[in-house]
Amino acid sequence: MTRALFNPGDQVRARRSDPEGHTRLPRYTRGCTGVVQTVQGVHAVPDERALGVDDPGREPVYTVLFRSQDLWAADDFGVCVDLWERYLEGA
Amino acid sequence: MDHDQRSALSRRVTSLESLLVQRGVVKTAELDGIVDRFVEKVGAGNGGKVVARAWVDDDFRDRLLADAGAAVEELGLGQAFGFLAHRHFVVLANTPQLHNLVVCTLCSCYPSALLGPPPNWYKSDAYRARAVRDPRGVLREFGVRLNDDVEIRVWDSTAETRYMVLPLRPTGTDDLSEQELVGLVTREALVGTAVVPTPGNPPAQRRAASNLESNPSASP
């Protein structure tokens, strides 16, 4: 999968997954909604790389801006997190 | 990590290194070259050079913000950057309305290829957990007081991009040379846990930084 599913300005939600193995989806973002800022290009998926597979999947990585009100119901600041496409769904 | 654990880790690394050299996977000279590069060619001083040039040259600043990896090559920092050049490198400009703060909540990702290894406090659980939860509180403890109307944006380096902050040029530095400006830029300012003060007017930031640094549980 190399064509980016999301574009800058799109609202996305970090998936509420709880994988058993390695992931680079920070727990504090799960279930939270943010806005895509940039598409960073296509990179090997760390969840698969960590398994040592020969040919890990490659997916677009997005910089997603979350608001502290959505992450913590508190304060007023932004947090940008770089997330692989499989970590996200449309919101 | 206590002393015994550190020694155990150190022994393990040494054994692993001997095995890799014995089996011909790596050469000692190659490893020495990498260590040498980290010690001699990379460090916060590189960040200072990049920042000072951006302060005195608006066109360079534009290129830096558009494609930081290419811009640092212009300053002859390509070799320092060299062996991690596949990393995307992004520079975030602070403005009077926006203050950027860099963290890696998952581990300790940092623009090491340019700036060398991260400081210990950057790897501490306390910094990693609190930077995304209470950045104003963290900044206060580092001695950074921002006006309430300044937006804070935290950058969690969770993927392949490495971030560095371009701090605001302090007032009262119009007469300084580019070389003098380099000397003003601290390692903390390059990740947003400090602002660059006007010379002769240092902020009270060292105490908070050294408290974190001396925390024995701070190193992973």
Q: Domain extents for chain B? A: 3-36, 43-213
Tokens 């007032």 belong to B171
Does any CB of chain B come closer than 8 Å to the CB of residue A78?
A: yes
Per-domain boundaries in chain A: 11-90
Q: Say what percent of chain B tops pLDDT 70.
A: 83
Q: Calculate the dihedral angle through the C-alpha atoms of B6, B11, B12, B15, rounding to the nearest 10 degrees.
A: 160
Q: Does B136 touch chain A (CB under 8 A)?
A: yes
pTM for this entry: 0.85
Q: Taking all residues of chain B, what is their mean pLDDT, rounded to a whole number? A: 86
With 0-12 / 13-18 / 19 or more C-beta atoms within 10 angstroms meaning exposed / middle / buried, residue B102 is buried
Residues of B in contact with A71 (CB under 8 A): 132
B43-213: CATH superfamily: Nitrile hydratase alpha /Thiocyanate hydrolase gamma (3.90.330.10)
Task: Quickly name the fold that domain A11-90 has.
Answer: SH3 type barrels. (2.30.30)
- Given the structure tokens 């692989």, which residue do they identify? A84
Catalytic residue among B10, B15, B18, B107: B107
User: Has the ipTM of the complex gone over 0.90?
Assistant: yes
- In angstroms, the separation between the Cα of residue A90 and the nearest Cα of chain B is 20
Where residue B37 falls (left for φ over 0; alpha for ψ -120 to 50; beta otherwise) is alpha
Tens digit of each residue's pLDDT (9 = 90 or more) over B54-83: 999 999 999 999 999 889 989 988 655 555
Q: H-type helices in B23-159, by residue range? A: 28-36, 44-56, 58-66, 68-74, 78-81, 112-115, 120-123, 125-131, 135-141
| Chain B contact present for A81, CB below 8 A | yes
Cα–Cα dist B126/A51, whole Å = 29
